Chain A
């Protein structure tokens, strides 16, 4: 897609892939434990037939999604781009569906950096941006970059347009 603005160029931290894979693994493990317990209970108390089918369906879906969640982070990392100019925040992301977003700086209400335990381990931060109409997040930036970006957005967002 051509546009007078440069397409966004900035990429996330490479460690993002690791963080995503680890967190996906953890959530999938939890999911499998729950499923295993349910399957065991189903076997033990012989619940209705259709419950069994649904559980099996879920298991198959979980296996597929686990495999996908091992591949997806690489693709997602490759697709993620962001950029900040004086007037606009540009975001591009998405593997199956590519999504471009254009947010005027003047409409940004707040920016914040956030860090969970996994992100902290790799020295990363995520940046969340609240606008009048929605909220956006740039996941997994190196901490210094995130803080600098936060301050820059805050600076640009200070310029106010006449609101009506």
Chain B
């Protein structure tokens, strides 16, 4: 199999990125300091020109030298102009696949795709910056097919995909897989409206409104002095009211548009093997993950979402590339799912997961222990307040009030956390929920947990309590724990984890 270059448009893509990065320097060196002949600026221009030249050369050389090839079990990547490197990434190490279609890609009807592994470092993902959609579909389907074949234990998958010419006829296999997909969720108008209120995106314009109001007041005050006082006050009040209403409308619309752009075109679908999350109106991203690579699920609810009966479901995956800062957003199923639908969907798309509704609460004595535990935040803040004794709102001797207020806040948070903490341990799963204002429910399977621990402080020992914790693969590794569970449960938890040997398959 011959190694292939990446798509020629990737040169243009990188040039485009380079241009975007240069804009600041161009404006500074050639527009703002246009007339300047200080040596700093003059040399700066030369250095800038040189840097751009080198970058352009390196982009072209990179395109010429960087190649890839797929064989029947791995990607081979060839890199480097002077230092050549060859990297082999087996398909079996790929955790999830990410596509991002930016405006640039949309314009050329291309896409970018990255196959993400659980490795550390920069080369953790096989990334195609620009690739035709058909080719991306083909590679993705091919990788998925081989991994499935390997999982089934069947021998020799089909031959590697033939590299069709770019923009050739759409791949047949990708179409056939697309047909099997069931769509689990697409947001309705109501969902988007709810989402835009829950995400509070309409509040973004409030600072703008306030500053405008300030200015408006000044203007009207000036007029007041000039003309008929009464009438002007009336009219300005009317005007202000009109302006406020207008701004509220604008900000609500603005918030909705923002939410629509972000969450409008959302689609959660799955076929028997994989889960797909598609989102974005202008810039589209597609996240796909094989079902058995989902390390854990997290269901998160902020206070607002709890009131509105919404929840966010996140899939925890072991793979992500370093460049992907917004990973936690990408792996999220729709963040504003109605709670009931969220639970239904988890069991729909991940039939091997069962969410138990009846979870156990902590024993009463855990509450006392939690209330008694010293709060370092409170101690440090109180010590600071005691020393500085600040005056607040022109009142002296209020430092102890602030301290008491903070203590009450800390204790209320602890009581809320106690009330929200639940746990359940059934045959193959563990469920742990905690949080004071925002609650997080963590669900994982026994064979996906890579380590467990039980800790017990002296006080906990006295009260017959203990803390349990798990570690899951993710990037960075995911820790989850519940504090102050009954000691018996901690023992059961240990035994439960030891039982994983029965379900783990050895190679």
Q: Which residues of A contact B (CB under 8 A)?
A: 1-5, 50, 87-88, 94, 96-104, 106-107, 131-134, 159-164
The contact sample of 28 A-B pairs, CB cut-off 8 A, is A1-B454, A1-B491, A3-B494, A3-B495, A87-B498, A87-B501, A96-B458, A97-B457, A97-B458, A98-B456, A98-B461, A99-B456, A100-B454, A101-B451, A104-B451, A104-B504, A107-B451, A131-B451, A132-B450, A132-B477, A133-B472, A134-B471, A159-B507, A160-B506, A160-B507, A161-B506, A162-B505, A164-B290
Contact with A along B22-54 (1 / 0, CB 8 A): 000000000000000000000000000000000
Tell whether B221 is near chain A: CB-to-CB under 8 Å.
no
State the CA gap A162–B505 with chains docked (Å). Answer: 6
* Contact B458–A88 (Cβ < 8 Å): no
* Contact A101–B453 (Cβ < 8 Å): yes
Tell whether B367 is near chain A: CB-to-CB under 8 Å.
no
* Contact B450–A104 (Cβ < 8 Å): yes
Contact with A along B452-489 (1 / 0, CB 8 A): 11111110010000100001110001000000000100
- Given A50-B387, A131-B450, A159-B506: A94 and B455 within 8 A (CB)? yes
Tell whether B497 is near chain A: CB-to-CB under 8 Å.
yes
The distance from the CB of B499 to the nearest CB of chain A, in whole angstroms, is: 9
Residues on A with beta carbons closer than 8 Å to the beta carbon of B456: 97-99
The distance from the CB of A22 to the nearest CB of chain B, in whole angstroms, is: 27
* Contact A4–B451 (Cβ < 8 Å): no
Q: Which of B290, B451, B487 contacts A103 (CB 8 A)?
A: B451
Tell whether B79 is near chain A: CB-to-CB under 8 Å.
no
Q: Which of A5, A88, A134 contacts B477 (CB 8 A)?
A: A134
Q: Which of B387, B454, B487, B498 contacts A5 (CB 8 A)?
A: B498
The distance from the CB of B484 to the nearest CB of chain A, in whole angstroms, is: 13
Contact with A along B144-178 (1 / 0, CB 8 A): 00000001000000000000000000000000000
The distance from the CB of A58 to the nearest CB of chain B, in whole angstroms, is: 14
- Given A1-B487, A4-B498, A164-B293: A99 and B455 within 8 A (CB)? yes
Residues on A with beta carbons closer than 8 Å to the beta carbon of B450: 104, 107, 131-133
Residues on A with beta carbons closer than 8 Å to the beta carbon of B477: 132-134
State the CA gap A160–B507 with chains docked (Å). Answer: 5
Residues on A with beta carbons closer than 8 Å to the beta carbon of B473: 132-133
Tell whether B490 is near chain A: CB-to-CB under 8 Å.
yes
Contact with A along B291-331 (1 / 0, CB 8 A): 01100000000000000000000000000000000000000
Residues on A with beta carbons closer than 8 Å to the beta carbon of B504: 104, 106, 161-162
Sort A-B residue pairs by CB-CB distance and give the 7 closest, nearest first. A133-B477, A133-B471, A160-B507, A100-B454, A101-B453, A97-B457, A107-B450
State the CA gap A104–B447 with chains docked (Å). Answer: 10
- Given A98-B461, A107-B451, A134-B477: A161 and B498 within 8 A (CB)? no
Q: Which of B458, B471, B506 contacts A162 (CB 8 A)?
A: B506
State the CA gap A3–B493 with chains docked (Å). Answer: 10
* Contact A102–B457 (Cβ < 8 Å): no
State the CA gap A107–B500 with chains docked (Å). Answer: 13
Residues on B with beta carbons closer than 8 Å to the beta carbon of A102: 451-453, 494, 497-498
Residues on A with beta carbons closer than 8 Å to the beta carbon of B507: 159-162
Contact with A along B367-386 (1 / 0, CB 8 A): 00000000000000000000
Residues on A with beta carbons closer than 8 Å to the beta carbon of B505: 161-162
Residues on B with beta carbons closer than 8 Å to the beta carbon of A94: 455
Residues on A with beta carbons closer than 8 Å to the beta carbon of B472: 133
State the CA gap A97–B459 with chains docked (Å). Answer: 9
The distance from the CB of A21 to the nearest CB of chain B, in whole angstroms, is: 23
Residues on B with beta carbons closer than 8 Å to the beta carbon of A97: 455-458
State the CA gap A73–B487 with chains docked (Å). Answer: 27
Residues on B with beta carbons closer than 8 Å to the beta carbon of A132: 450, 473, 477
State the CA gap A161–B446 with chains docked (Å). Answer: 14
State the CA gap A97–B466 with chains docked (Å). Answer: 10
* Nearest-CB residue, chain B, relative to A161: B504
* Contact B501–A100 (Cβ < 8 Å): no
State the CA gap A164–B446 with chains docked (Å). Answer: 13
14 extra interface residue pairs, beta carbon distance < 8 Å, beyond A94-B455, A100-B494, A132-B450: A1-B454, A50-B387, A87-B501, A97-B455, A98-B457, A99-B456, A100-B453, A102-B494, A104-B504, A106-B506, A134-B451, A162-B504, A162-B506, A164-B292
* Nearest-CB residue, chain A, relative to B458: A96
* B126-145 interface (Cβ within 8 A of A): none
State the CA gap A1–B465 with chains docked (Å). Answer: 11
The interface centre, meaning the residue of A1, A98, A101, A132 with most chain B CB atoms within 10 A of its CB, is A1
The distance from the CB of A51 to the nearest CB of chain B, in whole angstroms, is: 12
State the CA gap A160–B506 with chains docked (Å). Answer: 6
- Given A4-B495, A133-B473, A162-B506: A99 and B453 within 8 A (CB)? yes
* Nearest-CB residue, chain A, relative to B93: A163
Residues on B with beta carbons closer than 8 Å to the beta carbon of A159: 506-507
Residues on A with beta carbons closer than 8 Å to the beta carbon of B461: 98
* Contact B500–A104 (Cβ < 8 Å): yes
* Nearest-CB residue, chain A, relative to B479: A133
* Contact A1–B490 (Cβ < 8 Å): yes
Contact with A along B346-380 (1 / 0, CB 8 A): 00000000000000000000000000000000000
* Contact B293–A98 (Cβ < 8 Å): no
* Nearest-CB residue, chain A, relative to B387: A50
- Given A132-B477, A134-B477: A2 and B451 within 8 A (CB)? no
* Nearest-CB residue, chain B, relative to A100: B454
State the CA gap A150–B502 with chains docked (Å). Answer: 26
* Nearest-CB residue, chain A, relative to B473: A132
State the CA gap A161–B473 with chains docked (Å). Answer: 15
State the CA gap A163–B466 with chains docked (Å). Answer: 31
State the CA gap A131–B472 with chains docked (Å). Answer: 11
* Nearest-CB residue, chain B, relative to A103: B451
Residues on B with beta carbons closer than 8 Å to the beta carbon of A106: 504, 506
